[in-house]
Amino acid sequence: MPTEEANLNRTINRQRQVGRAGRIFVRLVVLVCGVSMLAFGVWALIAPGSFASWISFPPYNEHLIHDAGAFQIGIGTALLLSLLSSDALIVALGGFLVGGTLHVVNHAVDSHLGGHASDPWLLGVQVLLAAAALGVHLRSRRDASIAIRGDGNDSNQHSQS
């Protein structure tokens, strides 16, 4: 299984091959797509009636429009995170956490529209598990980085002996 350092080196080599113009194009497209997903998602969440009229797919269902907004915001977040990190797990879990958290809120706020009383709780557990997984992943990356640089406490203790 490749190491994080090997994956990073492979990514850097691929980026060099694409060239500066290609990288700028890709980043601009990701930025435009991410911002548009966020904008449409926020619109669907805060003004579901207006958004539903604009997309014109009857019948109107406020909760489903709210959910569509939550998921669009999650996708937009993942797209924008990809501009900041080449780590697929950070991007995927970060996008899921944002979209999933909004989805939980939707089920709690829209409970009078239908669904099950357990929906927010079950969805919330999923979000908490994803948050824990992201925390474990970030910690393992940090620990690996410290080990590669030799900044860990163990190396300091050995050098002082």
Residue 81 lies in a domain: yes
Termini Cα distance of the chain: 35
Residue 159 lies in a domain: no
pLDDT in tens, 88-139: 999 999 999 999 999 999 999 999 998 899 999 999 999 999 999 999 999 9
Number of other residues whose CB lies within 10 A of the CB of residue 102: 23
The three state secondary structure string of 2-26 is CCHHHHHHHHHHHHHHHCHHHHHHH
Tally the domains of the chain: 1
Residue 8 lies in a domain: yes
Residue 63 lies in a domain: yes
| Alpha helices (H) in the chain, listed in sequence order | 4-18, 20-46, 48-55, 62-82, 88-109, 119-149, 153-160
Encoding tokens for residue 129?
């598990």
Encoding tokens for residue 95?
């996008």
Residue 160 lies in a domain: no
CA 129 from chain center: how many Å?
14
pLDDT band at residue 14 under the 50/70/90 scheme: confident
Q: What is the pTM of this model?
A: 0.76
Residue 26 lies in a domain: yes
Contact in structure between 135 and 90 (CB atoms under 8 Å): no
Residue 161 lies in a domain: no
pLDDT in tens, 37-52: 999 999 999 999 999 9
Residue 12 lies in a domain: yes
Half-sphere exposure of 88 (CA within 13 A, CB side): 4
At residue 139's C-alpha, the angle toward residues 26 and 83, to 5°, is 10
Domain that holds residue 89: 4-151
In the chain, the amino acid numbered 156 is N
Q: Which of 4-8, 11-15, 66-70, 151-155 has the highest mean pLDDT?
A: 66-70
